[in-house]
Amino acid sequence: MQCESSQELKGLIDEAKIYTKDGQVAQYIPALRDADPDKLAVAVYYPDGSCYAAGDVRHKMSLQSISKVITLALALIDRGEDVVFDHVGKEPTGDPFNSIIKLETISPSKPLNPMINAGALAVTHMLIGNTVEERFERLLNFVRELAGNSTITYNEEIAKSEFETAELNRAFCYYLKQHNVINEDVEELIDLYTKQCAIEVNSVDLARIGCVFAMNGIDPVTDKQVIPASVVRICKTFMVTCGMYNASGEFAIDVGIPAKSGVSGGVMGAVPHKCGIGIYGASLDDKGNSVAGLKLLEMMSRKYDLSMF
Amino acid sequence: MQCESSQELKGLIDEAKIYTKDGQVAQYIPALRDADPDKLAVAVYYPDGSCYAAGDVRHKMSLQSISKVITLALALIDRGEDVVFDHVGKEPTGDPFNSIIKLETISPSKPLNPMINAGALAVTHMLIGNTVEERFERLLNFVRELAGNSTITYNEEIAKSEFETAELNRAFCYYLKQHNVINEDVEELIDLYTKQCAIEVNSVDLARIGCVFAMNGIDPVTDKQVIPASVVRICKTFMVTCGMYNASGEFAIDVGIPAKSGVSGGVMGAVPHKCGIGIYGASLDDKGNSVAGLKLLEMMSRKYDLSMF
Amino acid sequence: MQCESSQELKGLIDEAKIYTKDGQVAQYIPALRDADPDKLAVAVYYPDGSCYAAGDVRHKMSLQSISKVITLALALIDRGEDVVFDHVGKEPTGDPFNSIIKLETISPSKPLNPMINAGALAVTHMLIGNTVEERFERLLNFVRELAGNSTITYNEEIAKSEFETAELNRAFCYYLKQHNVINEDVEELIDLYTKQCAIEVNSVDLARIGCVFAMNGIDPVTDKQVIPASVVRICKTFMVTCGMYNASGEFAIDVGIPAKSGVSGGVMGAVPHKCGIGIYGASLDDKGNSVAGLKLLEMMSRKYDLSMF
Amino acid sequence: MQCESSQELKGLIDEAKIYTKDGQVAQYIPALRDADPDKLAVAVYYPDGSCYAAGDVRHKMSLQSISKVITLALALIDRGEDVVFDHVGKEPTGDPFNSIIKLETISPSKPLNPMINAGALAVTHMLIGNTVEERFERLLNFVRELAGNSTITYNEEIAKSEFETAELNRAFCYYLKQHNVINEDVEELIDLYTKQCAIEVNSVDLARIGCVFAMNGIDPVTDKQVIPASVVRICKTFMVTCGMYNASGEFAIDVGIPAKSGVSGGVMGAVPHKCGIGIYGASLDDKGNSVAGLKLLEMMSRKYDLSMF
């Protein structure tokens, strides 16, 4: 997983970096609050295994909401499409990711899609395993395989902080339990979910995972089909329709790349048949997306004609 | 606490009883599910200590939502008006009692009023005491004092069943915790709340408690001011604007008596300066109110001109 | 309709007047925008025909939302309770008066109550008459009769301004038309509604109308039953549960008088069996109620023990 | 615009046709209500000008909501991206197309996207021209150019019926007017909008228009750039995120073709770089999409690997 420095990407980063001042880093837990808002890094991973980068691409970030796509893939592998979509819907929403309204006003009482928190919790609930540890181990190994990086683990401090402040997610869980969408112990599910969000990767890891999605599930190095193509297709669709919280529609127009962001400032992009992109930039816009990261993706999409549309 | 049989009330009961078939008993826990839908009982308690009754007025029921008025009174005594209404609003709502929408769309994030579940949980949270046991003991003694009945206790089986099925209330609690409306352990609050709901009274108890509210807080037997008049005034106002779930507006027009209902089929009425009314009729309409109980109150209101309006 | 100056009321006005600076006059049409925010006037009308006043009680104001109670009374006389409540609900709401959400999320698709704009439009729709002119003439004569003032008319300039800016009310009308709540020409209904809102009265007029409601429909001078008692009861109930927009619950607790406000700064109160109150104070709080007017009512309620609760 | 019969497409149609019985034709106006629910037709138009078809591809249908994409293209040409998206948002929504909730709860008060009715009305409002006639003429000529069919016109009877029943759209317009999103006469806008919806095309016309979108705006016969590529990109994005009402997310996963449906039973698809697809099948599912048409597209997507994802 060597990654070559690219002057071209460096130039784009310098240009995009000025937008970091338009946002701020996530404030709700110390580990995120302390991030350097001025950092910006990008890695591009190609199907032939080559990789180009600029900025501090070895800087680690927690997956946060980016994990929603990966757990969705694993849950689809574990349970199949029918079971998964019995528990969560397929429709995008104009509401913020943490909105509780839609749980009540659209029937049946299932979360609208797997990218909003309530839906992601329902997906994590479906991961197979006898214990939280076993289920998490399976997920972690899946992430390691996709990233081709067996050293990936999770940040215990972040997991702990998030567990302690996850009141809204607990509210979602009990609401889902009331409506029989989930039936496990809530504290266990929150434990699993916060660990999942705290898995730490760097931009190169993200780019390589994105590359697997870009290549319909085929590993760029081993050429093995590590995710079934039908599962990848579903994941990429959600990345387009709901990957950027309630800025997904705007992102689809302006950038047009299947991508998923997280409040740690990470963005994982999957340009179909072309490449995977991993970005780190902790300064967030008011929707929760990396403000300079999105600008960078927009520049790259225009310069290299990456939009699907 | 002798209560004389009244032929006149017996006649009204026989007339109202035919409406029991228009509803059904609450289904969500065994203890309520097994209630006899055809029973109907009423007691009327006067400021001079006299009491008239018809039907099986010694039949016990759990307080359920009727407890919301009594805990509000105690919380107002414990904390004062300012603190209480920092945590919960004063506005009625056309939404059902278990709606979560209003928590999100009206700012600030506090429950609209103390009669919806989220608001009632916020009120119970404010009851003073070092432990759940101590807080519950204080509440139970308050109920006993109001009813003049030291034998009142709670039904452990009902409390246990409700505790085990309280997922929606747990969702509310975590939502409230997220927004800093409450800050105690959720399981402890749910424990206290479900015990509160499981306190068992009979129709005479309810009528006597209603009489205290009707007399602005003065005990009909001891003439002692057991609740400050200003607290009673607030409670009675909520009984008028939100006492019958999302049928409160209709009830105010058709009946016009400050009253509070519970899903056990109980209704407690407080006719200002006149009397307290206690009703038991387990068959509920689709809003959760005793179907024959409301009919009976409507008949009594017309016959005896009891409407405030 | 002589009204005696009262030093006591003058004292209360002076005290309440300081709150006028906490609000501002309605801004959406010139006639309201130009009102003097510092004026405050009150009249109290008693069942024996006596009247006491302070401030410029001859200052004219348009009825605005106060007209909602009067048209409700006339519609109930014209059509009967059943027809009226086929078109509009009886439940209070925590939403603002101009909210459109509840039209969609509560079924059946009828406005929640006659005090929100959509409900008031449905009520005005039911006024009997062959033409807008005839229906308005009937309403105007009804107002004149209640106020004992045959010189009352409407302010053409205000009606015209409101007609020209009534886009939101037109939206409500078409929504109601879509759901078969109304079936007349929308422009005609808006014409009738904006004229109704533009009827001009002074504080003494309001106090006298309030007195009719306070006396269950009996005219304080002629002793004639000018509104059936059953109709008055319904109107007073709505004044309590929804008379002060989404501050009704708070007003019920703090003041406890059936009352209705308008954005012109008028408030009409009806203290059961005691008196009618008319207030003018154009400075509004953020809910749309006369800020000093409500303070004045709160003072009067405490001083003279006027609360129903 | 000759279109060759295709046995292969005929086979697919026969297979998809059995699903027509799972839906029903639109009921709200006579012209739609009288459609034959069993008809199913498809045309596929290729960039080289070739065309293959099955079923009665000359059967005319009104554009209905399919017109929303075409007017969006023309408005973007007329006004530019900045002006258009000052009036309408870019976000998909899980609400039905005729929902009014989102107009109120998401601020600023602009419709979420151009594919819901409120957004489409805001877009039509932006079409340039001095009169309704001139604006409609421009739009009609645009449709004719895209379809390469100068005989296209609108169905006056349908336009008239829709104009007469457009109360909900009038409600949207006045709501938009209240919030300064539109400022023209509502009846004129409704006139223009209902004519736009009543433009009649057949499946071959739809396929050819779809082909222009598929080819980034280049006419398959003249090779002329009839829509700027940047405009086409925006339109196709909305077709993916919001083209199938509140089944768009599901359609993106199951089919993955930018497409737009209408309640007449038409569907226009644009397979990037490959072909345009036109379908007619009047039997609708409960979301308002051609039930057999969607099945047919799903079959075609799988058989010919047409999904973008």
Q: What is the pLDDT of residues A112-165, one digit of tens each?
A: 899 999 999 999 999 999 999 999 999 999 999 999 999 999 999 999 999 999
Contact assignment for D249 to A272 by CB distance below 8 Å: no
Q: What pLDDT was estimated at residue D246?
A: 85
3-class SS string, chain A: CCCEECHHHHHHHHHHHHHHHHCECCCCCHHHHCCCCCCCEEEEECCCCCEEEECCCCCCEECHHHHHHHHHHHHHHHHCHHHHHHHCCCCCCCCCCCCCHHHHHCCCCCCCCCCCHHHHHHHHHCCCCCCHHHHHHHHHHHHHHHHCCCCCCECHHHHHHHHHCCHHHHHHHHHHHHCCCCCCCHHHHHHHHHHHHCEEECHHHHHHHHHHHHCCCECCCCCCECCCHHHHHHHHHHHHHHCCHHHHHHHHHHCCCCEEECCCCEEEEEECCCEEEEEECCCECCCCCEHHHHHHHHHHHHHHCCCCC
d(CA D31, CA B253): 46
Answer yes or no: is pLDDT of B205 > 90. yes
Q: Which residue of A has its CA nearest to D239?
A: A309
B109 touching chain A per CB within 8 A: no
Q: What pLDDT was estimated at residue B104?
A: 64
D138 touching chain A per CB within 8 A: no
Q: Which two tokens stand for residue B146?
A: 């109001």
Structural contact between residues A247 and A275, judged by C-beta atoms closer than 8 angstroms: no
Residue-by-residue pLDDT tens, chain A, 309 positions: 579 999 999 999 999 999 999 999 999 888 899 999 999 999 999 999 999 999 999 999 999 999 999 999 999 999 999 999 999 999 887 666 667 666 666 655 788 899 999 999 999 999 999 999 999 999 999 999 999 999 999 999 999 999 999 999 999 999 999 999 999 999 999 999 999 999 999 999 999 999 999 999 999 999 999 999 999 999 999 999 999 988 999 999 999 999 999 999 999 999 999 999 999 999 999 999 999 999 999 999 999 999 998
Q: Is C68 assigned a catalytic role?
A: yes
D193 touching chain C per CB within 8 A: no
Q: Which two tokens stand for residue B12?
A: 């009204």
Dihedral over Cα of D93, D98, D103, D105: its sign: negative
Residues in A touching D92 (Cβ below 8 Å): 91-94, 241-242, 248-249
Q: What pLDDT was estimated at residue B27?
A: 92
Q: What pLDDT was estimated at residue B230?
A: 95
3-class SS string, chain B: CCCEECHHHHHHHHHHHHHHHHCECCCCCHHHHCCCCCCCEEEEECCCCCEEEECCCCCCEECHHHHHHHHHHHHHHHHCHHHHHHHCCCCCCCCCCCCCHHHHHCCCCCCCCCCCHHHHHHHHHCCCCCCHHHHHHHHHHHHHHHHCCCCCCECHHHHHHHHHCCHHHHHHHHHHHHCCCCCCCHHHHHHHHHHHHCEEECHHHHHHHHHHHHCCCECCCCCCECCCHHHHHHHHHHHHHHCCHHHHHHHHHHCCCCEEECCCCEEEEEECCCEEEEEECCCECCCCCEHHHHHHHHHHHHHHCCCCC
Residues in B touching C236 (Cβ below 8 Å): 309
The percentage of residues in chain B with a pLDDT greater than 90, rounded to a whole number, is 89
d(CA D80, CA C183): 40
Residues D28-57 have pLDDT tens digits of 888 899 999 999 999 999 999 999 999 999
Catalytic-labelled residue, pool C193, C204, C226, C236: C193
Q: What pLDDT was estimated at residue B100?
A: 67
Contact assignment for C92 to B89 by CB distance below 8 Å: no
D256 touching chain A per CB within 8 A: yes
The percentage of residues in chain D with a pLDDT greater than 70, rounded to a whole number, is 95
Q: What pLDDT was estimated at residue D110?
A: 85
pLDDT class for B198, splitting at 50, 70, 90? very high
Q: What pLDDT was estimated at residue D106?
A: 61
SS3 C228: coil
pLDDT class for D97, splitting at 50, 70, 90? low
Q: What pLDDT was estimated at residue C30?
A: 87
Q: Which residues of D are catalytic?
A: 65, 68, 193, 245, 263
pLDDT class for B31, splitting at 50, 70, 90? confident
Contact assignment for D101 to C105 by CB distance below 8 Å: yes
Of A236, A253, A256, the CB nearest to D309: A236
User: How many CB contacts within 8 angstroms connect chain C with chain D?
Assistant: 49
d(CA D210, CA D235): 11
Q: Which residue of D has its CA nearest to C170?
A: D174
Q: Which residues 142-171 on chain C approach chain D with CB closer than 8 angstroms?
A: 167-168, 170-171
Residue (of A154, A161, A162) closest to A136 by Cα position: A154
**What letter would DSSP give residue D241?**
H
B247 vs D275 pLDDT, higher one: D275
Dihedral over Cα of C23, C29, C31, C34: its sign: positive
In degrees, rounded to 5, the angle at the alpha carbon of residue B290 between the alpha carbons of residues B286 and B296 is 125
pLDDT class for B174, splitting at 50, 70, 90? very high
d(CA C8, CA D176): 49
CB atoms within 10 A of CB B296: 28
Q: Which two tokens stand for residue A27?
A: 């404030």
Contact assignment for D249 to A258 by CB distance below 8 Å: no
Residues D206-242 have pLDDT tens digits of 999 999 999 999 999 999 999 999 999 999 999 999 9
Q: Which domains does chain A have, with CATH numbers?
A: 4-62+201-228+235-304 (3.40.710.10), 65-197 (1.10.1500.10)
Q: Is A28 assigned a catalytic role?
A: no
Residues B39-67 have pLDDT tens digits of 999 999 999 999 999 999 999 999 999 99
d(CA B143, CA D142): 76
Residues B218-243 have pLDDT tens digits of 999 999 999 999 999 999 999 999 99
Phi, psi angle pair for B232, to nearest 5°: -60, -40
Q: Is B68 assigned a catalytic role?
A: yes
Residues of chain C with pLDDT under 70: 1, 94-98, 100-108
Contact assignment for B309 to C237 by CB distance below 8 Å: yes
A96 touching chain D per CB within 8 A: no
Residues D273-289 have pLDDT tens digits of 999 999 999 999 999 99
Structural contact between residues B210 and B293, judged by C-beta atoms closer than 8 angstroms: no
Of B90, B105, B309, the CB nearest to C249: B90
Residues D102-119 have pLDDT tens digits of 666 665 578 889 999 999
Contact assignment for B91 to C249 by CB distance below 8 Å: yes
Q: Which two tokens stand for residue A229?
A: 């193509």
Catalytic-labelled residue, pool A19, A45, A52, A245: A245
Mean pLDDT of the region B60-75: 98
For helices B7-17 and B291-304, the axis angle rounded to 10 degrees is 130
Work out the minimum CA distance from A213 to partner chain D, whole angstroms.
10
Contact assignment for D241 to A101 by CB distance below 8 Å: no
Q: Is B175 assigned a catalytic role?
A: no
Q: Is B52 assigned a catalytic role?
A: no
Instruction: Give D120: exposed, middle or buried? Use CB within 10 Å, 0-12, 13-18, 19+.
Output: buried
Work out the minimum CA distance from A85 to partner chain D, whole angstroms.
10
Q: Which two tokens stand for residue B19?
A: 């409406």
Chains contacting C (3 or more CB pairs within 8 Å): B, D
Residues in D touching A92 (Cβ below 8 Å): 91-94, 241-242, 248-249
What count of residues does chain C have?
309
CA C31 → CA C34, C61, C79, C159, distances in Å? 6, 10, 34, 10
Structural contact between residues A63 and A70, judged by C-beta atoms closer than 8 angstroms: yes
Residues in C touching D99 (Cβ below 8 Å): 104
Of C99, C101, C174, the CB nearest to D171: C174
Contact assignment for D92 to A89 by CB distance below 8 Å: no
B193 touching chain A per CB within 8 A: no
Contact assignment for B93 to C90 by CB distance below 8 Å: no
- The model's pTM: 0.94
Beta bridge partners of A279: A42, A267
Backbone region of residue C55 per phi and psi (left: phi > 0; alpha: psi in -120 to 50; beta: other values): left
CA A117 → CA A94, A166, B172, B260, D106, distances in Å? 14, 11, 17, 37, 19
Mean pLDDT of the region D8-17: 97
Q: What pLDDT was estimated at residue A39?
A: 95
Q: What pLDDT was estimated at residue A92?
A: 86
SS3 D275: strand
Answer yes or no: is pLDDT of B160 > 90. yes
Structural contact between residues A69 and A78, judged by C-beta atoms closer than 8 angstroms: no
A217 touching chain D per CB within 8 A: no
Q: Which two tokens stand for residue B170?
A: 């747990």
**What letter would DSSP give residue C20?**
G
Residues B264-309 have pLDDT tens digits of 999 999 999 999 999 999 999 999 999 999 999 999 999 999 999 8
Q: What pLDDT was estimated at residue C102?
A: 65
H/E stretch holding D146 reads helix D132-147
CB atoms within 10 A of CB D158: 23
Residue (of A136, A113, A121, A137) closest to A186 by Cα position: A121
Q: What pLDDT was estimated at residue C101?
A: 64
Q: What pLDDT was estimated at residue D125?
A: 98
